[in-house]
Amino acid sequence: MYLKNTSFLPEDCVRTIEGFRAVEDGYVLNVTDETAERFRDAFTARLAKAGFDASYNLSSEGKVLEDLINRFGLTSS
d(CA 7, CA 20): 18
Kindly state whether residue 76 falls inside one of the protein's structural domains.
no
Is residue 51 within 8 Å of residue 62, measured between CB atoms? yes
pLDDT tens sequence for the chain (77 residues):
889 889 999 999 999 998 888 888 888 888 999 999 999 999 999 999 999 999 999 999 999 999 999 999 875 54
Nearest to 35 by CA among 20, 21, 49: 20
Instruction: Look up the pTM and report it.
Output: 0.85
Q: Which domain holds residue 7?
A: 3-71
39-60 pLDDT, tens per residue? 999 999 999 999 999 999 999 9
Kindly state whether residue 30 falls inside one of the protein's structural domains.
yes
d(CA 33, CA 73): 9
Kindly state whether residue 31 falls inside one of the protein's structural domains.
yes
Kindly state whether residue 13 falls inside one of the protein's structural domains.
yes
SS3 23: strand
Kindly state whether residue 22 falls inside one of the protein's structural domains.
yes
How much is the pLDDT for 47? 98
d(CA 59, CA 77): 32
The domain total for the chain is: 1
